């Protein structure tokens, strides 16, 4: 007897619920509606294209596992995306087959609860033509989608130079390092995508340190070490993400040392990412660390307020989302740690709005962000403070960093310095450098001036109180 699609999906949900947090389950899986089962293809209905894309990006392995448990090998998933057309009363249904077949073949290492013996790892495919090697890149990770700011300018510029002339610059290897969620993977893959677009005959491969280690372990177990070595020596541009995953694995480091030397000596390009600079890495052989320093080491730092807002605007544009500028200001001011958290906040806002059919407002943004940051103390950026002050007095944002001595601009500058001193942990010298390149004495004078006016000028005191309310929203 054929399985009933409702029962299949119900069983899948039980498995999924055991493997995700309850909030994730409610947000991303409860709204899904099973539609039909055709052989081994299950069709499900989701509320939007964005919803489908996020499921594919974040939960494809989990969905694959759940389906395989119910339908066996060859299970497939198709999405019905209901797109409401404002010009018609009936919604449009667009079908999207999942891309999990490609994932099943090319990502054996990270797939949980799968019999790896039935999946060939990429290096063991006999006689595979160079040009047919899957680079394992996400085509969405392009330079166009990568906002440039002080936090990533050096690494981004070097990466683009490499993509236009791989293996021929002095940036070999390019070692990109920084904390989690700052865009290391996006940048590394952008180099690969751009290189592949410009030089279609180049063999590009992206692999994580964990995947590399697992593949080498399989090769050792199967007595195919030479095949493994030969495969990696064919690559023209090799991207190793999270190289720190090789820490403490001496034999894996030995084989990578051989691969690194061969590629570097033959003019091939290496891109390496890590959570730490080479000098701060532990458990990695000195001879490898010395080679990591041969090219350029570029750090990704936490983006400032203006960069965070630009990232949000770019993400919203890429996803076709229209969000009020004030809401972007609010998110950029309150999510300060990394890019991943910024995008996560926007995704949460959109998901909440889509599922509950609510307009995205400042109040909704406040509710979502309070949950994300658990009401911890939030430190505003100087850039955001300047913007709020300038908006209040109807000035251009760059007015208070200019050299002008106009009374209204000088006063706005002093107010911005006053709030920066009271609402951030920055030194007076740092505040001054960010607000017009002034010294600490100027900031101290500005704060005294503002305090005096608060005590003597009722109207001015009203300005300060209103601006403070806006900053504390």
Q: Where are the alpha helices (DSSP H) in 72-171?
A: 100-106, 153-164
Q: Has residue 172 got a pLDDT over 90? A: yes
**What percentage of the chain exceeds 90 in pLDDT?**
33
Of 257-261, 357-361, 440-444, the one with minimum mean pLDDT is 357-361
Mean pLDDT of 269-279: 93
**What tens digit of pLDDT does each residue of 135-169 get?**
999 888 999 888 888 889 999 999 999 999 999 98
Give DSSP secondary structure letters for 414-454.
Answer: HHHHHHHHHHS---HHHHHHHTTS--HHHHHHHHHHHHHHH
The pLDDT mean for the chain works out to 81
CA dihedral defined by 319, 324, 330, 333, rounded to 10 degrees? 60
CATH of region 382-471: 1.10.1750.10
CB 215 within 8 A of CB 109: yes
> What Cα–Cα distance (Å) separates residue 125 from each residue in 103, 109, 210?
16, 16, 20
pLDDT score, position 108:
31
**What tens digit of pLDDT does each residue of 237-273 get?**
999 999 999 999 999 999 999 999 999 999 999 999 9
Structural class in CATH, domain 305-373:
mainly alpha
pLDDT score, position 473:
64
Does the reported pTM lie above 0.85?
Answer: no
Q: Is residue 237 helix, strand or coil?
A: strand
Please give the distance of CA 30 from its chain centroid, rounded to a whole number.
Answer: 25
**What tens digit of pLDDT does each residue of 59-116 get?**
888 898 899 988 888 888 888 876 444 333 344 444 545 544 333 323 333 333 333 3
Q: How many CA atoms does the CB half-sphere of 370 hold within 13 Å? A: 8
436 vs 428: CA distance, rounded Å: 13
350 vs 15: CA distance, rounded Å: 26
Domain 125-299 CATH (choose: 3.30.505.50, 3.40.30.10, 3.40.50.300, 2.60.40.10)? 3.40.50.300
366 vs 370: CA distance, rounded Å: 6
Q: Has residue 328 got a pLDDT over 70? A: yes
User: How is the chain split into domains, by residue range?
Assistant: 5-106, 125-299, 305-373, 382-471
pLDDT score, position 379:
57
Q: Which CATH superfamily is domain 5-106 in?
A: DnaA, N-terminal domain (3.30.300.180)
């Amino acid at each position: 007897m054929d399985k009933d699609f409702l029962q299949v999906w119900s069983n899948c949900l039980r498995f999924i619920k055991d493997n995700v947090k309850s909030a994730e389950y409610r947000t991303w899986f409860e709204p899904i509606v099973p539609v039909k089962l055709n052989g081994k293809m299950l069709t499900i209905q989701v509320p939007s294209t964005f919803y489908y894309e996020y499921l594919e990006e974040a939960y494809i392995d989990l969905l694959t596992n759940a389906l395989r448990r119910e339908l066996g090998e060859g299970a497939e998933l198709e999405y019905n995306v209901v797109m409401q057309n404002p010009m018609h009363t009936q919604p449009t249904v667009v079908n999207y087959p999942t891309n999990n077949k490609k994932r099943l073949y090319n990502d054996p290492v990270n797939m949980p609860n799968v019999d790896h013996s039935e999946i060939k790892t990429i290096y063991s495919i006999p006689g595979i033509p160079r040009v047919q090697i899957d680079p394992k890149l996400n085509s969405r990770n392009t330079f166009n989608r990568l906002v440039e700011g002080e936090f990533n300018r050096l690494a981004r510029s070097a990466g683009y130079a490499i993509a236009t002339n791989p293996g021929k610059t002095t940036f070999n290897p390019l070692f990109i390092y920084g904390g989690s969620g700052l865009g290391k993977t996006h940048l590394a893959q952008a180099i690969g995508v751009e290189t592949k677009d410009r030089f279609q005959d180049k063999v590009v491969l992206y692999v994580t340190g964990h995947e590399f280690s697992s593949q080498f372990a399989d090769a050792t177990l199967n007595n195919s070490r030479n095949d493994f070595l030969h495969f990696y020596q064919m690559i023209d541009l090799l991207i190793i993400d999270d190289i720190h995953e090789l820490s403490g694995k001496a034999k894996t480091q030995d084989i990578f040392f051989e691969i690194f030397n061969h590629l570097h000596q033959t003019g091939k390009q290496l891109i390496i990412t890590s959570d730490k600079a080479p000098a701060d890495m532990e458990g990695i052989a000195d001879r490898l660390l010395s080679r990591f320093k041969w090219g350029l080491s570029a750090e990704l730092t936490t983006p400032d307020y203006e960069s965070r807002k630009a990232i949000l605007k770019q993400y919203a544009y890429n996803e076709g989302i229209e969000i009020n500028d004030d809401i972007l200001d609010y998110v950029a001011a309150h999510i300060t740690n990394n890019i991943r958290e910024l995008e996560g906040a926007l995704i949460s806002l959109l998901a909440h709005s889509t599922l509950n059919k609510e307009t995205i407002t400042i109040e909704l943004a406040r509710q979502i962000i309070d949950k994300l940051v658990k009401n911890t103390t939030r430190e505003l950026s100087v850039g955001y403070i300047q913007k709020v002050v300038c908006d209040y007095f109807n000035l251009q944002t760059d007015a208070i960093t200019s050299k002008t001595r106009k009374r209204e601009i000088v006063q706005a500058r002093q107010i911005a310095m006053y709030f920066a001193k009271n609402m951030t942990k920055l030194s007076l010298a740092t505040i001054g450098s960010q607000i017009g390149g002034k010294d600490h004495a100027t900031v101290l004078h500005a704060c005294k001036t503002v305090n005096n006016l608060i005590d003597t000028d009722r109207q001015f005191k009203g300005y300060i109180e209103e601006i403070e309310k806006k900053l504390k929203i």
